[in-house]
Amino acid sequence: MEMDIDSACKPKDEEKAKGKPIAAILVGAPGSGKSTFCENVMRGSSRPWVRVCQDTINNGKSGTKPQCLKSAAASLKEGKSVFIDRCNLDKEQRVDFVNLGGPEVEVHAVVLDLPAKLSISRIVKRTGHEGNLQGGKAAAVVNRMLQNKELPKLSEGFSRITFCRNETDVDAAVKTYTAVGPLDTLPHGCFGQKDPNAKTQLGIMRFLKRLHETNARDSVPSQLTEEKGPCGKTQETVSSSSGMASQKIKVSEDMAPGSISHDESDIPTLAFPSISTVDFQFDLEKASDVIVGKVEEFMDKLGNARLVLVDLTERSKILSLVRAKAAEKKIDSKRFFTFIGDICQLYTKGGLCCNVIANAANWRLKPGGGGVNAAIFNAGGPALEAATKEQARSLLPGNALVVPLPSTSPLYSKEGVTHVIHVLGPNMNPRRPNCLDNDYVKGCKVLEDAYSSLFKGFLSIANTQVKVPRSSGSILSGPSKLEDEISGTKTKTWAPCLQALYNIAMQPEKHNKQVLEASDDVVVLNDIYPKAKQHLLVLARIKGLDTLADARKEHLPLLMTMHEVGLRWVDKFVGEDASLVFRLGYHSVPSMRQLHLHVISQDFDSKNLKHKKHWNSFTTAFFRDSVDVMEEINNQGKATIQDEKRLMSMELRCHRCRSAHPNIPRLKSHISSCQAPFPADLQKKGRLVPEQN
């Protein structure tokens, strides 16, 4: 009888909850420990758990959100509980997984909101990550994800949310979920949250700055590297919502497999500060209205171009005002977003590729004063000041001046900036020229004109980007733009940061420290990120010969010269180390402009060989042997270009015995001792030098 009374007194909803499967949605940036959390719970729990991870959902490879949803739904239907192992850092990314809940499924969130420096430290140090997100470059990705996180709330549909702010909290959460048996349930509610409005962890940028300083070779691409950095074709990012060092850069987790590669090099981008500077004492509410209004006006004219409002501090009031007002107007956050960082170092410090930056200038267009104007003139060097003087000596409020940046400017060579647009806004400071004495009717009109002039100047650049002709010609007499238009030749736009090899090939005398050899036909230099003990690049010195796809029969003598030069260097290296074996060849689709031959030893003993794309770019059919290229061009008139996407995603196999390996560390350990003969196809036609017996 007592049993009946106790049973009758229990709430019906609690009774129904017993035995329900749990959909536990993990929330956290890479490096926060989501996968480890799952493994620790599943190792000790008596409840049947399934881990659904987007990095491995596609037969061990990266997959899609729909695949995760399908797998999770199937497991829940079978009565199993599931961990959703994705970043899930905003409500939009969580909503479909929350909807898996219902009368028969409880939906929980486990938030691993650990200190930013801990996650970043982990991700920099780790290797062989199943999602290939690791190393110094990944640190910037994690930073921008953390800056844009949106913590879950019960109102989204969760029955329980557990916040973990440190490793002690994580251990407690692991014990809690491990102890949940097949028929048990957990109390509903929100546990462990210190500040419901918390969003940004202070000190992230300070830590990231130190990280960049100590890991510069990983995080800052060099002019000469073959690695595809932030301005390259395979920039490493993460399939998740992010906003570089601020908010509103959105890179969706819903992307298809392979979307971890993201190409921003061809997207025209204007980075601009608030033109109504602090020194001009303009009302920020009114200034933010003008910015958002003008951005909205120009949205339809942008095409694929982007506008980025930049400020140095995460506490910037103008950024927060603009973000809120842009969101209200539902402005596309992929084409207009805010960014915290130094406008003079957006690429090298933040990984954001901007070909145009705006300067909140003074009326004299002089480098004096402080703030943005002084910083940009200082970063641009004498080349920017001289180029500005050629255009104009002064500027009226409400106007903008477009200044093409010489390639000798550090902003061009290091940051990939091709143009600086000087723009002068309205002044409300009585100590500065042209004070409007708080006349905001006139002030807002001047500010509107200033942004209109700025955006029009940017669009004129975006619509007339310099195109690199795909045709041949000598260094001194390459085809003109008019000739290219008449002939209908296809063109390709190359971001400035991808033209370092081209610049060296055209003017080797300016790069004496890098150049090992130079002649009328070729330039030889070391790859600054060698993937083996010996790794040279032999550059063609001819305009219009940007990639292997451009090579035709008339280029055959040059290709033969490049091959002969490569062989001569091989002889030198083998004379110094007789154990070395080389291949000479081209990447089917290079990451940098200007045709270049790789001369690379086959030991692949290099700390710079870190990722699958590094390995597959030299050991699959993507790497076209020089002897085969010359034969194909001689017989067919052009070389065969292999499929980059397919070959870069192939499994890791030893280049000698062809055994498969799960990650780069395991592969490198194997090849250091593998003595198997090279595959038979490589031992023919002189593809290996010296030839193998």
Q: What is the 3-state secondary structure (H, E, C) of 625-665?
A: EHHHHHHHHHHHCCCCCCCHHHHHCCCEECCCCCCEECCHH
d(CA 171, CA 164): 9
Angle at 209 between CA 208 and CA 211, to 5 degrees: 60
Angle at 688 between CA 687 and CA 693, to 5 degrees: 115
Residues 168-196, buried b or exposed e (16+ Cβ, 10 A)? ebbeebbeebbebeeeebbebebbebeee
Query: Under a CB-based contact definition with an 8 Å cutoff, are residues 417 and 425 in contact?
Result: no
Please name the residues in contact with 114: beta carbons below 8 A apart, sequence gap of 6 or more.
28, 32, 33, 164, 165, 166, 167, 170
Residues 363-379, buried b or exposed e (16+ Cβ, 10 A)? eebbbebeebbebbbeb
> Which residue out of 212, 555, 587, 596 is catalytically annotated?
596
Query: Under a CB-based contact definition with an 8 Å cutoff, are residues 410 and 446 in contact?
Result: no
Query: Under a CB-based contact definition with an 8 Å cutoff, are residues 86 and 277 in contact?
Result: no
d(CA 550, CA 527): 22
Of 410, 402, 544, 422, which is closest to residue 462 (Cα–Cα)?
Answer: 402
d(CA 538, CA 566): 7
Is omega for the bond preceding 690 within 30 degrees of 0, making it cis?
A: yes
Write down the residue that tokens 């090939």 correspond to.
Answer: 505
d(CA 470, CA 491): 6
d(CA 529, CA 526): 8
Q: How far is CA 596 from the centre of its chain?
A: 24
Burial-class residue 433 by CB neighbours within 10 Å (0-12, 13-18, 19+). Answer: exposed
d(CA 139, CA 121): 8
Residues 245-279, buried b or exposed e (16+ Cβ, 10 A)? bbbbbbbebebebebbbbebbbbbbbbbbbbbbeb
d(CA 48, CA 465): 58
d(CA 656, CA 674): 7
For the question of residue 108 being annotated catalytic, the response is: no
164 phi and psi, to 5 degrees? -115, 115
Please name the residues in contact with 273: beta carbons below 8 A apart, sequence gap of 6 or more.
309, 310, 311, 343, 358, 359, 360, 372
So which residues are the catalytic ones?
A: 596
